[in-house]
Amino acid sequence: MTNRWVTLAALAAATLALSACGTTSTVSDWIRGKGDGGASESVILGAPDADAYLDELYLLAAGDPGKQADIFEDAESAARLTPGPSTRLRFGLVLATQGHPGADAARAQNVLRQVLDERELLTQAEIALATIHLGSVERLVATDSAAREMQESTTRAARTQSQSLNQRVADVEAENRRLRAELADAKQKLEAITSIERSIREQE
């Protein structure tokens, strides 16, 4: 699987190299199918069709853990070793697909945004896939962020409430100590008065 993606990425890299050598217009027209053939639909040389992406995403979503690990490792290696629009799109889609250990919505969001920054090197199908999955992971990231904020807010509220309760308990305990001290003082005064009265009666 890696060899296939490496070949595709190499073709894309060669196209970019030609573009950098001053033949941007010609190469761009050739890639887009606007050369001698005059094709009405834009074509990117070496780009996989939508079915290639969809078939792999289906296997990733429905596959066993071993198959999921193989697909993730292969996509990650291809994107790292032969970075290009197609390999990075593939890796972004793998990251965006939930249900496997390698899924990472935040990372997928960054990768897919970078891919769409080079949409001129993508087919319409690839642009559609990237856009749809980017929208999905953006909503997921926003939802996760809102959930974390709510959890943090709840934690802060609980901490504040606990601190307030602790303060009230401390205030009550302080008041109890004050009342016990006053009671002890009153008891001592009462005992002193009782002792004086007893002494007076004895003297009579």
The per-residue pLDDT for 89 is: 95
The structure's pTM equals 0.54
The per-residue pLDDT for 80 is: 93
Average pLDDT, the chain: 76
Interatomic CA distance for residues 74 and 94, integer angstroms: 10
**Residue 23 vs residue 49, higher pLDDT:** 49
Residue 39 pLDDT greater than 70, yes or no: no
* pLDDT tens sequence across 105-151: 999 999 999 999 998 999 999 999 999 999 999 999 888 778 877 77
Residue 10 pLDDT greater than 60, yes or no: no
The per-residue pLDDT for 204 is: 66
- Residues of the chain with pLDDT > 90, as a percent, come to 31
The per-residue pLDDT for 185 is: 78
Residue 174 pLDDT greater than 90, yes or no: no
* pLDDT tens sequence across 41-82: 344 555 677 788 998 998 888 878 899 999 999 999 999 999
Interatomic CA distance for residues 52 and 157, integer angstroms: 50
Instruction: List CB contacts of 95: < 8 A, sequence separation 6 or more.
Output: 102, 103, 104, 105, 107, 108, 111, 137
The per-residue pLDDT for 199 is: 76
